[in-house]
Structure 1
Amino acid sequence: MPTPSPIASPYLTRHTRPDRPARRLVCFPHAGGAASFYRPWARYADPSTELLAVQYPGRENRFREPLIPTMEPLVSAVADELLALPPLPTVFFGHSMGAAVAYETLLRLERAGAAHVTRLCVSGRSPDGAADRPAVRTDDEVVEAVRSLGGTHAAVFDDPELRELLLPVIRNDYHLIDGYRRRTDAPPLRADVHALTGDRDPQVTPEEATGWKALTSGSFTLTVLEGDHFYLVPAAERVARTAMEPAQPLPV
């Protein structure tokens, strides 16, 4: 697979770089995740789609940078970097914690007057997350929470060295999302919203995912696929192609 093209912002990793991009997909990783999670989606992108993934500090090429433990400074930094890009018809896709980060980032872009993000795809999360979130988790509770969701992270905890390496990042992200509360007085999004979830996701039911409908003045779509919280791993092609459906053209 080709190496992603460099980009000036450390917050954004390019997985494709079309000569003449017509649209853009920006992907937001889950708790403990990184930009590389979305690298395989490049094979499903057409030649005119620019695929970007957000890289949170403290992982992969940003390993030595301080982690950000709260939502506000993270989304402010991401929003600033995205606003600096040339506008293209854009879709946001966020999974789990990434759905909340994508939503808050889009709120900031729309507040700044940006109208080029025409659709928000939120995966594996209801608008307000789990109702029984603990205020504080021990390391063992973080590990158990990750194991209960499956996905690619669970096996790393069997290796003491990998556990020591990755646990601070995952613990940070759980702290961030456990402490996050969506503002109930936030204006509705102008962008359309597409919620996706697995039919056996222990964190969100299809009915709870439908709650995103109330957060937009645009259209709402719900897609339920077979699988658990990480349903999108075996269904990568279908989810990626759904996310990369052409965004609406920008107003003339």
Structure 2
Amino acid sequence: MVDRSGAGHSLWLRSFHEAKPGMPRLLCLPHAGGSAGFFFAFSQALSPAVDVRVVQYPGRQDRIAETPAASVQELAQGVFSALDERDETPLALFGHSMGAVVGFELARLLEAAGRPPAVVFLSGRRGPSIERIETVHQGDDARLIEEVTKLDGTDSALLQDEDLLQLILPALRADYRAVETYRRTPGPRLRSPFVVMTGDADPRVTPDEARTWFQETDGPSELHEYPGGHFYLTEQQQAVLDRIQATLRRLGPGGGAAA
């Protein structure tokens, strides 16, 4: 973990690799139960041409002693407060699953502060206009583990280690509670461009449901489907990275997200 240019001034933010000066900046937001390490491979592949920063939510790994956030909005506010308001470097956001709605709420905060994201990547999640009654967080541990196993986003070895399982379950349950009870509050449409990504076999979101993100911005929007399920981005990592790089390049000189 490396502290560069203020990247590590808060427990919320991580920087794994050094980027060249003036490179596009990408802030990654993990899924429910996920940690900053999930995006280590992204950072490794994109650096030094992209300045990758990753969010670490409370209640896991080196933040295990902290109480997990109670809501998506609380997570978004935590990240927003950790960002340096004096830093004028345009920022691109990439959120997967729960991270997509955290990224959306973060984008709302940034736009309200006059610092709109250069682009928002929204992965593996339906738009907030589609509300569902979801109760995984209310079930017992077995139900929670079953859901995580079905989505294939957590190392099976962790789920089979009872000691590790007891460490990760509180944060996992809190994340599910946050995302399952999330409801979009009224507010203006955003201006930032949206790049929506989804797996064509994702059991949690159809391409049509992913497309409803377009309703949330007046900026240009596009949808990209990839072979795979909810965690298609691990199976299709290179294609996803290519899309990120191509998007950042066309935003403007130096990638459009450079200082």
**Same fold, judged at TM 0.5 (above):** yes
Q: Distance in 1 between matches of 2:3 and 2:82?
A: 16
Q: Distance in 1 between matches of 2:147 and 2:86?
A: 36
Q: Distance in 1 between matches of 2:158 and 2:196?
A: 29
Please give the secondary structure, in 2, of the residue aligned with 1:26.
strand
Within the alignment, does 1:67 sit opposite 2:65 as a pair?
A: no
1:100 alignment partner AA? V
Shift of 1:41: 1.1
1:216 aligned partner = 217
**C-alpha deviations, 1:185-229, integer Å up to 9, x for none?**
221111000110101100000011000011110011100000010
2:240 aligned partner = 239
Asked if the contact 2:196/2:213 (under 8 Å) is kept, the reply is: yes
Q: Distance in 2 between matches of 1:197 and 1:48?
A: 25
Asked if the contact 1:11/1:54 (under 8 Å) is kept, the reply is: yes
Q: Distance in 2 between matches of 1:175 and 1:154?
A: 22
Within the alignment, does 1:95 sit opposite 2:96 as a pair?
A: yes
Please give the secondary structure, in 2, of the residue aligned with 1:233.
helix
**Contiguous gaps of at least 5 residues in structure 1:** none
- Worse-matched range after superposition: 35-44 or 11-20: 11-20
Q: Residues 55, 143 of structure 1: CA spacing in aligned structure 2 closer, same or farther, 3 A cutoff?
A: same
Q: Residues 157, 47 of structure 1: CA spacing in aligned structure 2 closer, same or farther, 3 A cutoff?
A: closer
Asked if the contact 1:99/1:122 (under 8 Å) is kept, the reply is: yes
- Worse-matched range after superposition: 132-141 or 91-100: 132-141
Query: Would you tell me which structure has more helix in proportion to its own residues?
Result: 2
RMSD in angstroms over aligned alpha carbons? 1.9
Please give the secondary structure, in 2, of the residue aligned with 1:169.
helix
Asked if the contact 1:194/1:220 (under 8 Å) is kept, the reply is: yes
- Worse-matched range after superposition: 173-182 or 131-140: 131-140
Please give the secondary structure, in 2, of the residue aligned with 1:210.
helix
Within the alignment, does 1:26 sit opposite 2:24 as a pair?
A: no
Q: Distance in 2 between matches of 1:158 and 1:29?
A: 22
Calculate the TM-score normalised by the size of structure 2: 0.88
1:140 aligned partner = 142
Q: Distance in 2 between matches of 1:130 and 1:238?
A: 30
Paired positions, count: 246
Q: Distance in 1 between matches of 2:20 and 2:199?
A: 35
Within the alignment, does 1:191 sit opposite 2:189 as a pair?
A: no
Shift of 1:130: 6.3
Asked if the contact 1:193/1:218 (under 8 Å) is kept, the reply is: yes
2:113 alignment partner AA? A
Shift of 1:137: 2.8
- Worse-matched range after superposition: 18-27 or 95-104: 18-27
Shift of 1:154: 4.3
Please give the secondary structure, in 2, of the residue aligned with 1:106.
helix
1:164 aligned partner = 166
Q: Distance in 2 between matches of 1:173 and 1:46?
A: 29
2:16 aligned partner = 15
Asked if the contact 2:148/2:154 (under 8 Å) is kept, the reply is: no
1:33 alignment partner AA? G
**Contiguous gaps of at least 5 residues in structure 2:** none
Asked if the contact 1:35/1:54 (under 8 Å) is kept, the reply is: yes
Q: Distance in 2 between matches of 1:8 and 1:22?
A: 20
1:179 alignment partner AA? T
1:111 aligned partner = 112
1:235 alignment partner AA? Q
Within the alignment, does 1:122 sit opposite 2:90 as a pair?
A: no
Asked if the contact 1:17/1:50 (under 8 Å) is kept, the reply is: yes
Please give the secondary structure, in 1, of the residue aligned with 2:201.
coil
Q: Residues 54, 85 of structure 1: CA spacing in aligned structure 2 closer, same or farther, 3 A cutoff?
A: farther
Please give the secondary structure, in 1, of the residue aligned with 2:52.
strand
